[in-house]
């Protein structure tokens, strides 16, 4: 949906040159990519709303087949695929070849993976820009000194400090494009938990912001570590992480709207990690 407002548009739909809720930004939908947008509005209500990467794949990139020529409307089928002998470049990637969902699980069993997904222990990754990530959020004073990881909920005594420790496993090998992607930065995003929204159509969390951006040295290899401390916490909040290769950014470090028909998915890579909630007692 990239057109101008018309009779079928929802009330208030007014895309601009830089923002459109039905377009992608760095390969991710606007609902995820916009700081203080729809996803953050749900998190600010205290809702455990998780994001994942898609594995949707209908026709595969570089496969020589294309769909048949049957009339689906009358027969219910396009018929057998047709081998054109020519690689088709506009199709989907095999699941995991571009977008991948990293899940924190006790094992690779179906049950443990599903438990990890249900618990929000998930990082959505494009182009294998990272191999893995570890997050620990804990109270430095009275409260939960052990802490929690992605998808968790912890607590701190009012006025005490909260420590955030991030460890990122950088890409060690080439992705499907044949390139070893380089992570350029990691953003720590946080906002207050304010409870149910007064206006359920607002889709915004104006108090949510990037509180810290960590630059990754071009010479970095293996695992990089970052820390940040929230001082004198007075109210419940949440935090989440995202990272980028830094190739296409706005002046204040946010993703740029993708150009229809001219977007190289491998040159604008991001990851998004699910949140951690911090309660105050």
Q: What pTM did the predictor assign?
A: 0.89
Instruction: Find the domain containing 159 and state its range.
Output: 24-51+100-280
Asked if residue 95 is part of any domain, the answer here is: no
Domain-embedded: residue 244:
yes
Residue 69 lies in a domain: no
* Predicted local confidence at residue 200, as pLDDT: 83
User: Residue 15's pLDDT is what?
Assistant: 65
Number of compact structural domains in the chain: 1
Which pLDDT score, from 0 to 100, does residue 37 have?
A: 94
Q: Is residue 58 part of a domain?
A: no
Asked, for residue 220, whether it belongs to a domain, the answer is yes
| Structure confidence at residue 117 (pLDDT) | 97
The confidence score (pLDDT) of residue 1 equals 46
Per-run averaged pLDDT (10 residues), the chain, 281 residues: 61 66 90 96 97 85 85 87 86 88 96 98 98 98 95 98 98 96 98 93 93 97 98 98 97 93 91 99 95
Please report whether residue 262 resides in a domain.
Answer: yes
Asked, for residue 2, whether it belongs to a domain, the answer is no
C-alpha distances (whole Å) from 95 to each of 29, 55, 113, 253, 260 are 18, 5, 16, 29, 23
Residue 118 has a pLDDT of 97
Collapsing DSSP to helix, strand or coil, 96 comes out as coil
Q: Are 224 and 165 in contact (CB under 8 A)?
A: no
pLDDT for residue 3:
55
């Amino acid at each position: 949906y990239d057109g101008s407002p018309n009779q079928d548009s929802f009330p208030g739909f007014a895309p601009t040159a830089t923002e459109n809720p039905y377009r992608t930004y760095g390969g991710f939908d606007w609902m995820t990519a916009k700081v203080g947008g729809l996803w953050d509005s749900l998190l600010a209500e205290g809702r455990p709303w998780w994001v994942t990467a898609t594995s949707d794949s209908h026709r595969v990139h570089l496969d020589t087949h294309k769909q048949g020529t049957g009339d689906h409307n009358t027969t219910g089928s396009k018929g057998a695929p047709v081998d054109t002998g020519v690689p088709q470049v506009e199709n989907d990637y095999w699941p995991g070849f571009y977008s991948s969902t990293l899940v924190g699980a006790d094992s690779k069993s179906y049950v443990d993976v599903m438990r990890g997904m249900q618990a929000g222990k998930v990082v959505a990754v494009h182009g294998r820009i990272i191999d893995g990530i570890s997050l620990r959020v804990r109270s430095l004073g009275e409260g939960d000194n052990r802490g929690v990881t992605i998808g968790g909920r912890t607590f701190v005594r009012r006025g005490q400090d909260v420590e955030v420790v991030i460890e990122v496993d950088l890409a060690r090998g080439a992705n499907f494009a044949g390139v070893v992607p380089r992570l350029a930065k990691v953003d720590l995003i946080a906002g207050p938990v304010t409870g149910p929204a007064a206006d359920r159509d607002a889709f915004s969390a104006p108090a949510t912001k990037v509180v810290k951006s960590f630059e990754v040295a071009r010479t970095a290899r293996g695992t990089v570590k970052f820390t940040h401390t929230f001082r004198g916490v007075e109210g419940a909040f949440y935090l989440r992480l995202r990272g980028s290769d830094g190739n296409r950014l706005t002046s204040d470090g946010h993703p740029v709207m993708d150009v229809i028909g001219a977007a190289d998915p491998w040159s604008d890579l991001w990851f998004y990690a699910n949140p951690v909630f911090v309660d105050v007692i």
